[in-house]
Structure 1
Amino acid sequence: MKRIKMNRRDFLKGSAFITSTVAGSSLMVGANPELEAAPATPEKATASRKTAIAQCPYCGVGCGTIIQAENGKIVSMRPDKDHPTNYGLQCIKGLTAAEPIYVDRMEGDAYVRKDVWAEWNKPNHGDMEYISKTKGSFDEEHFVRVPYKEASDMTAHKIAHLAKKYTGNSIALYGSGQLTMEGQYLENLFMKGVLGSNTIEANARMCMTSAVTGYFATLGSDTPPLAYEDIELADMVMHFGHNAREAHPIIFWRIADHKRKADIPTVVVDPRYTGTSKGYEDINKDNSVHVPILNGDISFLNAIAHVLLKDHKDVIDWDFLKAHTTGWKEYTDGVLNNYSPEQVQDRMGGPNHDVSPELIRRVAGMFADATRKRLARSKGKQADEGYGGVIIMWGIGYNQHIHGQHNVISIVNLLTLTGNLAKPGCGPFSMTGQPNAMGERFTGGLTDRLPFNQPLKNTSHRKHMARHWNVPEENLIKAMNSENPGFAVGMMERALKGDVKAMFLVYATHIDLPDQHKLVRPAMMKTFNVVQEIYRHAPNNLYADVIFPAATWGEVDGVYISSERRINRVEKAAEAPPGCLPDMDMVIDKGKEIAHLLGMDADKIFPWQRKEDGFYDAQEIFRAVCAASEGTDTDLTGLLEVEKIDGKTPYQQLRDLRGIQWPAPSYEAAKAGGTKRRYMLQEGKWANKPYGYFRTQDGKVHMKLCLQDYSQREEITKKLMEFGDKEGVYTIDNIPLLKQARDMGLTPDLPDEAERGQTWDKVPAGKYPYWLGLGVVYEHFHTAKSNRSPTTRRLVPEMYVEMHVEDAKELGIKDGDKVRLVTRRGFYEAKAQVGVKSLVKPARNSVPRGYMFSPWNLSVADSADPKKNKWLVNGVSSRVWDIVSGQVDFKKLACRIEKV
């Protein structure tokens, strides 16, 4: 097979985007220089300087980063030139990742609410179920500083009491894709193995679980089957709900560079015309397509399949379908009968989201041509000897639908139909949001999951994990039989109803969740909340009964996993401020204390001891993860074999290779850097491999025809709009309604479009004429970190809303006006960014008429205090979720505009 190799020299010197490679030069595309960044020149080490390698702490691309510390403080970052993901380049977020680390930083003893501490110090500890009456305030006057061990002892006793009285499932944990994988693994052990709780969620639920469940439903296991190097082998790349240039810049740069060299076609499916589309058009407008769909992705994908089946029969892989799939007949019959480009026009988003039959046929023709190129190279060869075809990438926005899982299944269907599945240069590729959300998925840190891609209901794997965790299997059975309907949303609705009594919030912020004013914050007012946090004025602290100062990225040891399944080292570069402990250490401590109080053998479950430096050894936990992964499709035991034979520790292997892609089930696989591609016998030699062609029980891809039907749209959506608007109406009590909305491919809201065309003050009360979408902006990532960075804050300093010039004119809104965006659930305020010539930064994306857009990253950049905060976009979002993936739709809300 011909391999297209790409090295850093090619990427830098061959790129159309680099004007110079000297330090401080810009990596620019077209008219959007603010979207790009710079290659960095290595700095010489000095006696006071220490460097450590890491994966960038922001998005899931997993760029290699060199952390630089001086005099015990992290001072700067530079890209790792030896890392195979980013070739010594980095975006502005990664380059400035040191800036926010010490801003508003907590240190020292734990913070405990004064009234909680006073109650605890009463005889017999007073009311063990007491929660603070001062929630909603940051004020120092409401807190007392308490030594870590004493605060931890109080927390352990209160949690154990609640677990005994109300069951372990009354205890919730909201974790994070920013934790190290070792910490994530232990949090799951603690919740399911010790407490027997199934109420464990993470911010992955809000960004990636539609991809997770879509992969499980079709291929039988989670995560993309490809590697980033497949980008340079592809003949066509499509993006769905994925503004890669802002959300995953390195991936965009790699695709754009490949497009420049090989002239591949690119398709961006997005309601907005973004920098991603603009960048591709700057290279070659003739083979760059923007498809402005709003919600009609399933119909669009089915229509492409229809055209291929009718007009491009030579690219249909009938042999593969018949031998290695199920459901193909129902799928092909369904798309042929009901999904012609003409038949789907009512689902293409309506006015200003025009996707004509001609455009659909054009995209289908490009898809067919790219597939033919792969077929020509593969003719007469083994499947892995050819390369190329179509890669379909998608981001958080594509997952965030009521029908998110069906969106993903529809992508896999189309790729399977044409044989563009998990081969070199083609296949499905979801791009993750959080830096270690893949680790959260790997370790099973979500409702109903166990580590290593298996559910709690898998009897043999449940027994396997009970043995490795040294916990009674009955605890895992309790977790399995305990319900958390609605996942993250359900956890909060259960708290409102009184079923959840306590919450741990670990390296995740509650403002990631939807419907803040009507759901999340009222729920947290009713629970005992234990927060592990680095910033004194982080949003979680408003509702904390106890706050434990934590160490952060760069101050802890461990690993992250990137979107291509690459396990990267995250090394400790500096000591955390005094009193700030790694989250992993805190879960071991609380796990031991609570296990003991519940009558369990705590030292057997948590056998690790602190090292001389006072911290637990993360590599010991990583070895335990590797050992427990044996026999699963995530098998990492090859790293232990290398250590045994060559004497090289797992962490040293990861450092030397700049990451290993799981699985690595043998000595040979680990030495080679793991497995680039999964499925179809591409994994190489693997003794006792736990699956055949695919990970499904029958070894086949499970195709499923996903439908979209707007015939009852208004009637069903009217009911969906009651959640968060009508008091006492809960999603977890209305799952049949959610299923109906999912199966018909609907939206959570519907705007009152008839009310458009008049000034803002003439729109009747209770009417919401416009669509509103919430997403990301390039310069910011985490609400906690990046908006504390002076560089990125200077680039985008305030909340904004993108508006079409004609909409603004009709509304009577001028560029720069302060406006209020109101939905049925709440409001936020923003500056009007009217068109791409706006004076309000960043002004680079175009929205269609009738559609507004704001980033969530700046939600608390004005203030995390609710009395002052006016930018909290998730105060307006819907809580309606996909009944399988649990993801919420943040993209299609109905809003009204008011001038402030």
Structure 2
Amino acid sequence: MSDIIKTLCPYCGVGCGLEVLPPAQAGRPTTRASDGVPIWQVRGDRDHPSSQGMVCVKGATIAESLHKDRLRYPMMRRSLDEPFERASWDEALDRIASEIQKISVTDGPDGVCMYGSGQFQTEDYYVAQKLLKGCLGTNNFDANSRLCMSSAVAGYIQSFGADGPPCSYDDLDVTDCAFLIGTNTAECHPILFNRFRKHHKKSRAIKLIVVDPRRTQTAEAADLHLAINPGTDIDLLHGIAYFLMQRGKIDPEFIEECTSGFSAYAEVVQHYTPEVVSRRCGISISDLKKAAVWWGESDSVLSLWSMGINQSAEGTAKVRSIINLHLMTNQIGRPGAGPFSLTGQPNAMGGREAGGLSHLLPGYRLVGNAQHRAEVEAFWGVPAGRIAAKPGRTAWDMITGLESGDVKLIWVAATNPVVSMPDIDRTKAAFRKSPFTVYQDAYFPTEMSAYAHVLLPASQFSEKTGVMVNSERRVTVCPAFRTPPGEARPDWEIFAEVGRRLGFAKQFSFNNAAEVYAEFAQITRGRPCDQSGLSHGFLRSDGPKQWPYPKGKTVSSERLYTDLRFHTADGRAKFAALHSRGLAEPPDDRYPLVLTNGRLYGHWHTQSRTGRIPKLVKMHPEPFLEIHPKDAARIGVQDREWVEVRSRRGTARFPVTITQGIAPGTVFVPMHWGELWAEQAEANAMTHSAACPDSKQPELKACAVQLVPVAAIKVQADAEHHKYSLQSARG
């Protein structure tokens, strides 16, 4: 049918293909949202190679949120105590440009920051890099991808010499052993998990190993579930390596010819005997041995990980420890094998390619590399030396910069940091100190809008054309198919217009998103993520393609490193000899439990979309806390009773769900609820800002907490009130 639009789901990094149909079509009844508004119909695209027609409940209901609670016009105010007033685009953009000019003169470009999002399209990312890094001369662009996959980026770069997942989703269909660690794939990347499960069910010889302190939906399907203690991932991985070495299940020829650093790694592994690993991880030696045997005896092993690995104070070391296992057994560069990080957001991959973190430049270049800076400066037509030689502020550095007064302007777009950042009370206090905050989003209100001086209405999925790249490096063009509400504009157009007002008309002379992508594709020429053979027109006519796809190429690059040569100076992959350091904040007598957090199947990030879709709210109507029966008995709480969770930074309250599906000593809460959706239920009220020294990714997945039954708090409060009343009466 000619009116079917092919596009991509804007939620997770799986990148599912969607087909979208208008709300009214001859011979078909009109579909309406719960509020009676006609909506577009959405279904899976059978032709999209990544998802093969499958779609989860979030993708299937995406159209229901597109018209709800939208920010339609620019709004401004002088202080956070004043109400917003509607403004014209000229007024809003002139004010932003004026503030940037003033700060650049009085404080220098380091006083300006932008915090972006893995929900940007590649064109949005690219224009933002050009504006800040190329024209303004500050590398202070970071994105919520810093909280998502920056440890995977660092791990790939250190081990292989360049970023980029080497695997393909087709590997899910042929692997002999899937090793899932730090990922609840069934809920967080459900279409990928469903695809693997079809393969898994074909033969008992195909193994699924799941490593997670919780017995998640993913773990329920496992042949082996290793419920390790939080923070012991490296211990486990080295313990598996110990068994593989002891039994000769390594590939000496590959190690000798294609890698470096093995001897130092092997020396580290000798410290991780089965007895040591069993004690630290809280698992049996027999289960540890079984995992090693399955890895060693499988012809192809595919490891997958996500936030449970990346969001750690030793996230990069964990990633490299996974890669080490692949290198020692030559499990890379062929079907069904390889280390595969699953990105959390729809275009976090595209952001990496566009240089969308404070230490990156477009085309998998690095800020710290003088040649890379010179290449980009020449391409952008900016003076030599314009791009600063040191990385800019990371997401958390922006918060501390607001605290110290060094950050004078922060521009937040397509993300909600006052819910998603660690140590949320501190984050909110920092934003309250901000001299000037621009907030650019599609929805209003969100929690972040309360901290803005200027609000800019952004068009979103369905309303702008651009490219997104999923976890298997597959590039898909997503067309606009509906009119943005009010005066909403694409993010890249907003950035470009500010650039023109700052005097950079030549650098921002784009007429449409296709021109932006064409320029970006050329800056990737010759780089590991080469997309010079791609364009909007080609992707529309020929379908999604996996990079590298240089000019002249005719087929997608399904896998990387098939020739076993890597992007390092000597062409060898590098082993990492790193010991486990454990949690940045281990439990103690005062805070005896480890709190972890994660996604639920029906919600997405901070609910800016999903909280407005009744079907999804009904699936997950309220937050909760999972706790093991032993821990519940110890603190004296029954199922559905309320507890207060306390860390060194803040508190929250949840009804408890008592379950055998979580390890003793560990509790879990979902991360989706901010103050707009529930009272005092923010997961990040408790988390801390300790971060991986290499990736700068915070350890959002674990912090030490204590639990106090809310009934006990009430009894104590009543007693204190009674005591005060008696004293007052006597006085």
TM-score range normalised by the length of the shorter chain: over 0.9
Q: Return closer, same or farther for 1:473/1:789 CA change in 2, 3 Å cut-off.
A: farther
Shift of 1:210: 0.5
Find the counterpart in structure 1 of residue 92 from structure 2: 151
Cα distance between partner residues in 2 of 1:288 and 1:656: 44
Find the counterpart in structure 2 of residue 666 from structure 1: 551
Q: Return closer, same or farther for 1:854/1:518 CA change in 2, 3 Å cut-off.
A: same
**Seq. identity, %:** 32
Cα distance between partner residues in 1 of 2:4 and 2:562: 41
Find the counterpart in structure 2 of residue 10 from structure 1: none
* Matching residue within 264, 270, 294 for 1:366: 294
Q: SS of 2:193's equivalent?
A: helix
Q: SS of 1:874's equivalent?
A: helix
Q: Return closer, same or farther for 1:524/1:665 CA change in 2, 3 Å cut-off.
A: farther
Shift of 1:829: 1.9
Find the counterpart in structure 2 of residue 852 from structure 1: 667
Find the counterpart in structure 1 of residue 323 from structure 2: 412
Shift of 1:651: 2.0
Find the counterpart in structure 2 of residue 678 from structure 1: 560
* Matching residue within 389, 393, 399 for 2:304: 393
Aligned-CA RMSD value: 1.8
Aligned pairs (5 A) from 1:506-585: 506-510=413-417, 511-585=419-493
Q: Which amino acid aligns with 1:698?
A: D
Q: Which amino acid aligns with 1:480?
A: A
- Greater CA deviation, 240-249 or 420-429? 420-429
Shift of 1:415: 0.6
Find the counterpart in structure 1 of residue 123 from structure 2: 182
Find the counterpart in structure 2 of residue 66 from structure 1: 19
- The answer as to 2:333 corresponding to 1:422 is yes
* Matching residue within 44, 48, 73 for 1:83: 48
Cα distance between partner residues in 2 of 1:705 and 1:347: 19
Q: Which amino acid aligns with 1:831?
A: P
Q: Return closer, same or farther for 1:75/1:818 CA change in 2, 3 Å cut-off.
A: farther
Q: Which amino acid aligns with 1:92?
A: V
Find the counterpart in structure 2 of residue 495 from structure 1: 402
Aligned pairs (5 A) from 1:272-671: 272-280=214-222, 287-311=223-247, 313=248, 315-335=249-269, 337-348=270-281, 354-370=282-298, 374=299, 389-476=300-387, 479-481=388-390, 483-484=392-393, 487-510=394-417, 511-594=419-502, 596=503, 602-609=504-511, 617-639=512-534, 650-667=535-552, 669=553, 671=554
Aligned pairs (5 A) from 1:817-832: 817-832=641-656
Q: Deviations over 1:667-705 (max 9, x none)?
A: 2x2x32x211112438xxxxxxxxxx1111221101111
Q: Which consecutive aligned stretches of 4+ in structure 1 deviate over 6 angstroms post-superposition?
A: none
Q: Which amino acid aligns with 2:341?
A: S
Cα distance between partner residues in 1 of 2:605 and 2:595: 21
8 Å contact from structure 1 (residues 233, 424) kept in 2: yes
Q: Which amino acid aligns with 2:331?
A: N
Shift of 1:819: 2.4
Shift of 1:636: 1.6
Cα distance between partner residues in 1 of 2:358 and 2:641: 44
Q: Deviations over 1:207-253 (max 9, x none)?
A: 10110000000001112111110111211000011111001001111
Shift of 1:520: 4.4
Cα distance between partner residues in 1 of 2:392 and 2:541: 44
* Matching residue within 795, 798, 802 for 2:619: 795
Q: Return closer, same or farther for 1:847/1:482 CA change in 2, 3 Å cut-off.
A: closer
Shift of 1:508: 1.3
Q: SS of 1:88's equivalent?
A: coil
Q: SS of 1:98's equivalent?
A: helix
Q: Deviations over 1:462-487 (max 9, x none)?
A: 222112222223211xx224653xx2
Cα distance between partner residues in 2 of 1:87 and 1:237: 20
Q: Mind listing any 5+ residue stretches in structure 1 that lack a counterpart?
A: 1-43, 117-131, 135-140, 281-286, 349-353, 375-388, 597-601, 610-616, 640-649, 683-692, 709-744, 754-766, 837-845, 864-868
- The answer as to 2:600 corresponding to 1:751 is no
Cα distance between partner residues in 1 of 2:560 and 2:323: 15
Cα distance between partner residues in 2 of 1:521 and 1:505: 16
Cα distance between partner residues in 2 of 1:782 and 1:149: 32
Q: Which amino acid aligns with 2:594?
A: W
Q: Deviations over 1:313-347 (max 9, x none)?
A: 1x311111111111011112321x31221233443
* Matching residue within 223, 226, 247 for 2:188: 247
* Matching residue within 853, 862, 883 for 2:693: 883
Shift of 1:70: 3.1
Cα distance between partner residues in 2 of 1:877 and 1:502: 26
8 Å contact from structure 2 (residues 410, 434) kept in 1: no
Q: Which amino acid aligns with 2:703?
A: L
Q: Which amino acid aligns with 2:572?
A: K
* Matching residue within 687, 691, 695 for 2:567: 695
8 Å contact from structure 1 (residues 106, 536) kept in 2: yes
8 Å contact from structure 2 (residues 180, 303) kept in 1: yes
Q: Return closer, same or farther for 1:229/1:680 CA change in 2, 3 Å cut-off.
A: closer
Q: SS of 1:155's equivalent?
A: helix
- The answer as to 2:133 corresponding to 1:192 is yes
Q: Deviations over 1:558-577 (max 9, x none)?
A: 01000000011211110111
Q: Which amino acid aligns with 1:450?
A: L
Find the counterpart in structure 2 of residue 99 from structure 1: 64
Q: Which amino acid aligns with 1:629?
A: T
Find the counterpart in structure 1 of residue 31 from structure 2: none
Q: Which amino acid aligns with 1:678?
A: L
8 Å contact from structure 1 (residues 269, 291) kept in 2: yes
Q: Return closer, same or farther for 1:623/1:74 CA change in 2, 3 Å cut-off.
A: farther
Q: Which amino acid aligns with 2:211?
A: V
Shift of 1:823: 1.0
Cα distance between partner residues in 1 of 2:164 and 2:391: 26
8 Å contact from structure 1 (residues 771, 894) kept in 2: yes
Cα distance between partner residues in 2 of 1:811 and 1:789: 36
Q: SS of 1:444's equivalent?
A: coil
Cα distance between partner residues in 2 of 1:578 and 1:519: 31
Cα distance between partner residues in 1 of 2:4 and 2:69: 24
Shift of 1:665: 1.1
Q: Return closer, same or farther for 1:338/1:769 CA change in 2, 3 Å cut-off.
A: closer
Cα distance between partner residues in 2 of 1:569 and 1:295: 39
Q: Which amino acid aligns with 2:230?
A: L
Find the counterpart in structure 2 of residue 256 from structure 1: 197
Cα distance between partner residues in 1 of 2:527 and 2:39: 38
Q: SS of 2:153's equivalent?
A: helix
Q: Which amino acid aligns with 1:101?
A: L
Shift of 1:460: 2.5
Q: SS of 1:637's equivalent?
A: coil
- The answer as to 2:603 corresponding to 1:780 is yes
8 Å contact from structure 1 (residues 787, 857) kept in 2: no
Shift of 1:590: 0.8
8 Å contact from structure 2 (residues 230, 594) kept in 1: no
